[in-house]
Amino acid sequence: MAHEDIAQIPEADRGKEVLHRALSTGDMSVELASATIRLLPKDGTALERAAMAFHANPAGHPSVKPDGTSAVFDVNGQAPQPGAPFSDPCDASVAKLAGQLDEHGNLRYRPYEVSAIDVDLVVNTHGWHDPQGRINVLDSEVGQYTDPSGNTKVSTDQAKPFFFRANSGECILFQHTNRTAHELELDDFQVATPTDTIGQHIHLVKFDVMSSDGSGNGWNYEDGTFAQGAIRERI
C-alpha cells in the first residue's frame, strides 16, 4: 500500500487493515516514508567500549568457584576486530598449536571476495526454475552470470553450490557484496516482499556470539549486507 493510502485509514484500524490487504494481495512491500537517523560512534558506545575492554584483558578477571575459592575468569584477551569486537577469533597462539603459522610466524589469512546475485535459477533436468533465484559467486565470476545492469545473461543450470574452505587454524576474511534487488516481485510462488539484507548462515564454526554468531553472518544485523537499492533508499 502507498503511504497516501495508509494515511486515509483511521489510525485505530490501520494495523488490521494494512495486514488484511497485505495478506489478500500477497504484497508485503514496504515504502520508507521517513527515517530517524542516530549516528553511533565508530569505535562503539560507552557500554560497548566497556565490554570490549573487559574481554580484551589478557590476565582475565578475579572470580570465585562454586565452593567459594578464588579463581580467574578467563576472557579472550585479544583486541577487538571488525565483526568480532568481544572475541577475536584469529588468535595466533591457537594457530601456532595447529601448525598453521606461515614461514614468518604470522597467522594465515584466506580471503574470499563474494557477491550475492539475482539469477534465473534452474533447479532440475525438467527445466523447473526460479526466475528470482539468488546465489553466491566469487566477485571474479559475476560477469559469467549477469550483465553490468545485474540482469541474468546465461542459463544457471550449471551453477554449482558455493563453498568456501580453510585449513584448521586459518582465518577467513569474507568480504560480501549484495548485488541483488532489494525487493522480490509477486509471482505464482512468492509474495512481494523486501529483501534488503543478505548474510551467511554458517554452521559448526566458532563465533563471537554477540556479533558474529553465524546465523546472519549470518543473521547478524550489524554485518548483514544491504542491497544497493536499500542503501539508495536510505540515503
User: How confident is the model at residue 2, as a pLDDT?
Assistant: 60
Q: Does residue 103 lie within any of the structural domains? A: yes
Q: Does residue 51 lie within any of the structural domains? A: no
CA distance 49 to 41: 10
Residue showing cell 563471537: 208
Residue type, 199: G
User: How confident is the model at residue 220, as a pLDDT?
Assistant: 47
* Residues in the chain, overall count: 235
User: How confident is the model at residue 96, as a pLDDT?
Assistant: 59
Q: Does residue 63 lie within any of the structural domains? A: no
Q: Does residue 165 lie within any of the structural domains? A: yes
Q: Does residue 128 lie within any of the structural domains? A: yes
Q: Does residue 173 lie within any of the structural domains? A: yes
Q: Does residue 206 lie within any of the structural domains? A: yes
Q: Domain span at residue 157?
A: 84-234
Residue 202 has pLDDT above 80, yes or no: no
Q: Which residues, including other chains, have CB under 8 Å from residue 112's CB and lie 6 or more apart?
A: 138, 164, 172, 173, 174, 175
Mean pLDDT of 97-122: 77
Instruction: Give me the number of domains the chain comprises.
Output: 1
Residue 82 has pLDDT above 50, yes or no: yes
> What SS3 state is found at 12?
helix
Residue 68 has pLDDT above 90, yes or no: yes
Mean pLDDT of 70-84: 83
Q: Does residue 31 lie within any of the structural domains? A: no
Residue 210 has pLDDT above 60, yes or no: no
Mean pLDDT of 127-147: 87
CA distance 183 to 196: 7
Q: In 195-225, which positions are buried (b, 16+ CB within 10 angstroms) versus exposed (e)? A: bbbbbbebeeeebbeebbbbebbbebeebbb
